[in-house]
């Protein structure tokens, strides 16, 4: 499966790999990308795969979050709520998939990209990767279920500090805090995640399904009862003037940095 929005699905026996590959948008997620990710999950659910890997195209970015150029057209509470509800639904499905899900974090994971990463069951990252729940820098909040998931991973205080400061973590810092499960030297990254994926996928599918089901019963990472309140809070921040002002300022800083590099 390959789509216009850069979502590729490869199914090779027991192993499935979803790659978000939108180089012109830093692998950011547009509304069409959300739909295509949902279609990819449909195919995975119909397959006999024992493991799903989620990764990004290239070596610089895993997922840059939402495609702000496209999503900037969203200006009403209803539109913002629907966008958040759609992508949260996709990531809830990813997290609730019967088989294990491994995030192969090939590049930086900021904002919504970090939310994609924590929706997976395991995370391995290249050693030059950076990660941040930095939505607060744009005057908004995580809206795709990341608040609950990172809190379950790190604990309330550490998660709140991470999200309220927007702190950028190196791969090693993310590993030390428990956000990443393994950090791999860049030159060996793809070989190592594929080796790990193959090792997991060799296990009998019923055993993997049973292990994940029991684990998620003890610590659920999908909390549908929390969705609507979080979505409403996000939508209010999205349409607020502070969000658009901070987004414009961030865009200006990116443009200036790009000019300096050129």
Only one residue has tokens 């209803």, namely 78
Structure confidence at residue 256 (pLDDT)? 82
In CATH, what number does 7-207 get?
Answer: 3.90.226.10
Rounded (10°) angle between helices 227-239 and 241-261: 70
Report the C-alpha gap between 101 and 119 in whole angstroms: 9
If pLDDT is split at 50, 70 and 90, which confidence band does 198 have? very high
- The whole-angstrom separation of Cα 84 and Cα 151 is 19
The reported pLDDT for the residue numbered 68 is 84
Task: For 129-157, write each residue's pLDDT tens digit.
Answer: 999 999 999 999 999 999 999 999 999 99
User: Do 234 and 80 form a contact (C-beta atoms < 8 A)?
Assistant: yes
The pLDDT of residue 259 is 77
Question: What per-residue confidence (pLDDT) applies to 220?
Answer: 83
- The answer to whether the pTM exceeds 0.85 is yes
Residue-averaged pLDDT of the chain: 94
The whole-number average pLDDT for the span 4-19 is 90
Query: Mind listing the pLDDT tens digit for each residue in 202-233?
Result: 999 999 999 999 999 998 888 999 999 999 99
Dihedral, CA atoms, 203, 205, 208, 212, nearest 10 degrees?
A: 160
Placement of tokens 């990209």 in the chain: 113
d(CA 18, CA 237): 31
Q: What is the pLDDT of residues 61-120, one digit of tens each?
A: 999 999 988 888 999 999 999 999 999 999 999 999 999 999 999 999 999 999 999 999
pLDDT of residue 69: 85
pLDDT digits 0-9 by tens, 163-191: 999 999 999 999 999 999 999 999 999 99
Cα–Cα distance measured from residue 23 to residue 13, given in angstroms and rounded to the nearest whole number: 28
- Domain boundaries of the chain, sorted by first residue: 7-207
């Amino acid at each position: 499966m390959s789509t216009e929005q850069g979502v590729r699905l490869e199914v090779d026996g027991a192993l499935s790999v979803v790659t978000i590959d939108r180089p012109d948008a830093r692998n950011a997620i547009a509304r069409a990308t959300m739909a295509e990710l949902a279609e990819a999950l449909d195919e995975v659910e119909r397959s006999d795969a024992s493991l799903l890997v989620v990764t990004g195209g290239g070596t610089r970015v895993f997922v840059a979050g939402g495609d702000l150029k496209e999503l900037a057209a969203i200006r009403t509470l209803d539109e913002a709520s629907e966008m958040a509800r759609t992508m949260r639904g996709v990531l809830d499905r990813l997290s609730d998939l019967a088989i294990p899900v491994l995030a192969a974090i090939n590049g930086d994971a900021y904002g919504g990209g970090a939310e994609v990463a924590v929706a997976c069951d395991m995370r391995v990252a290249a050693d030059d990767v950076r990660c941040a729940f930095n939505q607060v820098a744009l005057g908004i909040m995580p809206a795709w279920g990341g608040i609950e998931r990172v809190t379950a991973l790190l604990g309330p205080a550490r998660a709140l500090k991470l999200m309220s400061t927007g702190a950028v973590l190196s791969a090693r810092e993310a590993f030390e805090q428990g956000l990443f499960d393994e950090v791999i030297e860049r030159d060996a990254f793809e070989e190592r995640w594929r080796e790990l994926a193959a090792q997991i996928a060799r296990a009998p599918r019923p055993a993997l399904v049973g292990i994940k089901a029991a684990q998620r019963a003890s610590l659920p990472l999908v909390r549908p009862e929390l969705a609507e309140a979080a979505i409403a809070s996000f939508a209010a921040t999205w349409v607020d003037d502070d969000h658009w002002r901070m987004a414009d300022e961030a865009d200006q800083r990116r443009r200036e940095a790009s000019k300096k590099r050129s």
